[in-house]
A and B are shown apart, each in its own frame.
Chain A
Amino acid sequence: MATEDFTTYTETDSGSDLTITAAKVDIDTMATEAVSHVVKDMTAGHFGDFTHLSKHVITAFSGATIRQTHFYWTLCNISNPTWAALNAANVGLSLQCYAWTNPRVRLIDWFDNATDEFNGVAAPPQTYYFTTSRSGTTATCQIYSDAARTNLLDTITIVCQTTTYRYISALGSGGFTASATVTASNEDFDLQEASGWGGERCGVAVAEVDGVTVAEVDGV
């Protein structure tokens, strides 16, 4: 499966901390209070059940005893998914990095703040590979230390909403004051979706409208 091209995402970068390339969002000493996000509008109701793959590198963070936070990945229905905006909207599903001594991973459903956490294996630099999925009311993130996903560090899981989501975010900042920074990257998002709008079978674009499957052949 092809990975996402982040150059097609919409970038907001209040602190000029981000560098976007095709497969990677580089974050350079981004402050928690930055209002920054990298988002793609996939159209309303795009994300139902899913399994997404992604890679995350935490190079360094300052203020280790102070709350540093940013998002590895988010699905939501707002176009500006910082912590502050998600906390206000109360709709979305996120993988949040918050740094104490070790870079932690928190899976959170913003509707009711259901959370589960992985407390991190060691201080930065750390590289994590996530397989994040939702099936009905169960959301799960499997955290690995290797790209082949043969070394499982932890599985975190929550009871989640079945809300469909419109936006995917490849980075979100905190948006609140915390005197802390992070240097990291979010990379290689594989949404494991068929190419084309609504799917593609045998070279024919296929979509479902009001329960009826329709196909488009040669632009007709």
Chain B
Amino acid sequence: MTILNYPNPNSVSTAVKNTALKYAYTYAVQEALRLRHNEEGAKYRAGQITKDEWEAFLHNWYEPRNATVTQDLLELRQICKNYVSTFQSNIDLEAIPI
């Protein structure tokens, strides 16, 4: 990662690196939730589960989990935005290695 190592890797705090990893992880969790949603959706379309079972899956299983993941994503995004505001005025575009 060229940018994160520039100009001084020590200037990027561990907390921020951890936030980035959590952000990536949470997106992966949301993607897994999406795929799980679509597996159940395919079963409903194929007549393998009833409408009541599909709706129960949405209301009792999918939506509560998705709401939790969504809130985590928003919190992590806010941490990243707050971090940006701390260094934005010091960005030197001419110094980016090319």
CB distance from A183 to the nearest CB of B (A): 29
Please tell me which one of the listed residues A151, A155, A157 contacts residue B41 in the complex, with CB atoms under 8 A apart.
A151
Contact B34 A150 (CB under 8 A): no
Contact A148 B45 (CB under 8 A): yes
Contact A138 B38 (CB under 8 A): no
CB distance from A179 to the nearest CB of B (A): 29
CA distance A36 to B81 in the complex (A): 34
Residues on B with C-beta less than 8 A from A158 are 74
Please tell me which one of the listed residues A150, A151, A152, A159 contacts residue B54 in the complex, with CB atoms under 8 A apart.
A150
Q: Judge whether A154 is part of the interface by a CB distance below 8 angstroms.
A: yes
CB-nearest residue of chain A relative to B78? A159
Contact B74 A159 (CB under 8 A): yes
CA distance A152 to B77 in the complex (A): 22
CB-nearest residue of chain A relative to B62? A152
Residues on A with C-beta less than 8 A from B54 are 150
Contact A152 B78 (CB under 8 A): no
Using A150-B45, A155-B30 as known contacts, say yes or no to A140 and B70 having CB atoms under 8 A apart. yes
As a 0/1 sequence over residues 16 to 45 of chain B, the CB contacts with chain A under 8 angstroms (1 = contact) are 000000000000001000100110111011
CB distance from A188 to the nearest CB of B (A): 19
Residues on A with C-beta less than 8 A from B77 are 159
CA distance A158 to B40 in the complex (A): 26
In the complex, besides A138-B71, A148-B41, 12 extra interface pairs with C-beta distance below 8 angstroms are A138-B74, A140-B70, A148-B45, A150-B42, A152-B34, A152-B38, A152-B41, A155-B34, A155-B66, A157-B70, A159-B74, A159-B78
Residues in A lying within 8 Å of B, measured CB to CB: 138, 140, 148, 150-152, 154-155, 157-159
Residues in B lying within 8 Å of A, measured CB to CB: 30, 34, 37-38, 40-42, 44-45, 54, 66, 70-71, 73-74, 77-78
